[in-house]
Chain A
Amino acid sequence: MSSSSNNLGPALTRRPQAGRSQTSAARARRIAAVAFLAPAVVMLIIVRLLPAGDALFSGLFHYSLVAGQESWVGLQNYVDLFTSGRFWNSVGITLLFSIIINPLQIAIALALAVLFTQRMHGSVLWRSLVILPVAAPGAVSTIIWGVIYRPDGLANAFLGALGIPPQPYVISTGQALMSIIILLSWGGVGYWMMFLIAGINDVPRELHEAASLDGASAWRRFWRITFPLIRRPLAFVLVADTISNFLVFAPVQVLTQGGPQGSTNLLMFDIYERAYKLGDLNTANAEVVILIAITLVIVAVQFRLLRSSE
Chain B
Amino acid sequence: MTDFLPQPRGVAGIVRRLAVTVIGIVVGLLFLAPLLWSLTSSLRPGSEVFRFVNPLQWRTFISENFTFDNYVRLADTPMGLAILNSLIVSVVTVVVGLVICALAAFGLSAIKFRGQGIVFSIVILSFLIPFDAIAIPLANLFRDANLQNTFVGLILPGLGNGLAIFLLRQFFLAVPYELVEAGRMDGLGWWGIFYRIYMPLARPAMIGAGLTLFLFQWHAFVWPLLIGSDSAHTLGSIALANFMGRFSVDYGLLFAGAIVLTVIPLIIILSLQRYFIQSVSTTGLK
B24 to A116, Cβ gap below 8 A? yes
| Nearest-Cβ distance from residue B162 to partner chain A, whole angstroms | 7
A39 to B103, Cβ gap below 8 A? yes
- Indicate whether A6 reaches chain B with its CB closer than 8 angstroms: yes
- Interface residues as binary, B162-175 with A (CB distance below 8 Å gives 1, 0 otherwise): 10010000000000
- Indicate whether A32 reaches chain B with its CB closer than 8 angstroms: yes
B6 to A209, Cβ gap below 8 A? yes
Chain A residues with CB under 8 A of B247: none
A29 to B221, Cβ gap below 8 A? no
B221 to A139, Cβ gap below 8 A? yes
A186 to B56, Cβ gap below 8 A? no
| Nearest-Cβ distance from residue A31 to partner chain B, whole angstroms | 9
Give Cα A136–Cα B111 distance, bound, in whole angstroms.
39
| Nearest-Cβ distance from residue A171 to partner chain B, whole angstroms | 14
B241 to A139, Cβ gap below 8 A? yes
- Indicate whether A177 reaches chain B with its CB closer than 8 angstroms: no
Scoring B3, B31, B111 by chain A CB atoms within 10 A of each residue's CB, the highest score goes to: B31
B134 to A48, Cβ gap below 8 A? yes
- Indicate whether B70 reaches chain A with its CB closer than 8 angstroms: no
- Indicate whether B275 reaches chain A with its CB closer than 8 angstroms: no
Give Cα A50–Cα B157 distance, bound, in whole angstroms.
12
Among B17, B27, B221, contact of A121 (Cβ-Cβ < 8 Å) = B17
Among A121, A134, A249, contact of B132 (Cβ-Cβ < 8 Å) = A249
- Indicate whether B201 reaches chain A with its CB closer than 8 angstroms: no
- Indicate whether B115 reaches chain A with its CB closer than 8 angstroms: yes
| Nearest-Cβ distance from residue A53 to partner chain B, whole angstroms | 9
A43 to B159, Cβ gap below 8 A? yes
- List which B237-257 residues lie within 8 A (CB) of chain A: 237-238, 240-241, 243-245, 251, 254-255
A205 to B55, Cβ gap below 8 A? no
B103 to A158, Cβ gap below 8 A? no
Give Cα A43–Cα B158 distance, bound, in whole angstroms.
9
B222 to A157, Cβ gap below 8 A? no
Give Cα A194–Cα B282 distance, bound, in whole angstroms.
12
> Across the two chains, which residue of chain A brings its CB closest to B33?
A154
- Indicate whether A295 reaches chain B with its CB closer than 8 angstroms: yes
A47 to B156, Cβ gap below 8 A? yes
Give Cα A275–Cα B238 distance, bound, in whole angstroms.
19
- Indicate whether B128 reaches chain A with its CB closer than 8 angstroms: yes
A158 to B56, Cβ gap below 8 A? yes
Give Cα A139–Cα B244 distance, bound, in whole angstroms.
10
Chain B residues with CB under 8 A of A246: 130
Number of chain B residues close to chain A: CB under 8 A = 108
- Indicate whether B187 reaches chain A with its CB closer than 8 angstroms: yes
Q: Secondary structure of the A side of the interface?
A: helix
Q: Secondary structure of the B side of the interface?
A: helix
Give the interface segment out of A80-88, A94-102, A281-289. A281-289
Supposing A51-B138, A160-B55 touch, asked if A268 and B132 sit within 8 A by C-beta, the answer is yes
- Interface residues as binary, B1-17 with A (CB distance below 8 Å gives 1, 0 otherwise): 11111110000000001
| Nearest-Cβ distance from residue A201 to partner chain B, whole angstroms | 5
Give Cα A160–Cα B122 distance, bound, in whole angstroms.
54
- Indicate whether A223 reaches chain B with its CB closer than 8 angstroms: no
Give Cα A137–Cα B220 distance, bound, in whole angstroms.
8
- Indicate whether B58 reaches chain A with its CB closer than 8 angstroms: no
Supposing A47-B157, A48-B131, A119-B5 touch, asked if A33 and B34 sit within 8 A by C-beta, the answer is no
B107 to A33, Cβ gap below 8 A? yes
A130 to B28, Cβ gap below 8 A? yes
Supposing A51-B138, A136-B261 touch, asked if A40 and B132 sit within 8 A by C-beta, the answer is no
A198 to B104, Cβ gap below 8 A? no
| Nearest-Cβ distance from residue B118 to partner chain A, whole angstroms | 10
B115 to A30, Cβ gap below 8 A? yes
| Nearest-Cβ distance from residue A223 to partner chain B, whole angstroms | 13
Chain A residues with CB under 8 A of B127: 48
Chain A residues with CB under 8 A of B184: 3, 6-8
Among A132, A153, A254, contact of B32 (Cβ-Cβ < 8 Å) = A132
Among B107, B116, B122, B134, contact of A52 (Cβ-Cβ < 8 Å) = B134
B113 to A195, Cβ gap below 8 A? no
Residues of B near any A CB (own CB < 8 A): 1-7, 17-18, 20-21, 23-25, 27-29, 31-35, 37-38, 50, 53-56, 60, 100-101, 103-104, 106-108, 111-116, 119, 122-123, 125-138, 140-141, 156-157, 159-160, 162, 165, 177, 180-181, 184-185, 187, 189-190, 194, 218-222, 225, 236-238, 240-241, 243-245, 251, 254-255, 258, 261-263, 265-266, 269, 277, 280-281, 283-286
Cross-chain pairs A/B with CB under 8 angstroms, 24 sampled: A8-B185, A32-B189, A33-B111, A49-B125, A49-B126, A52-B134, A55-B137, A118-B24, A120-B21, A121-B18, A133-B31, A137-B218, A137-B221, A139-B238, A139-B241, A142-B241, A144-B38, A152-B50, A157-B56, A160-B54, A195-B283, A197-B2, A291-B133, A292-B133
For the complex of A and B, the 7 pairs showing the least CB-CB separation, nearest first, are A43-B160, A36-B107, A40-B104, A129-B28, A139-B237, A126-B28, A198-B281
With A43-B160, A272-B136 given, name 7 new contacts (CB 8 A): A55-B136, A118-B3, A136-B35, A140-B262, A218-B5, A246-B130, A292-B133
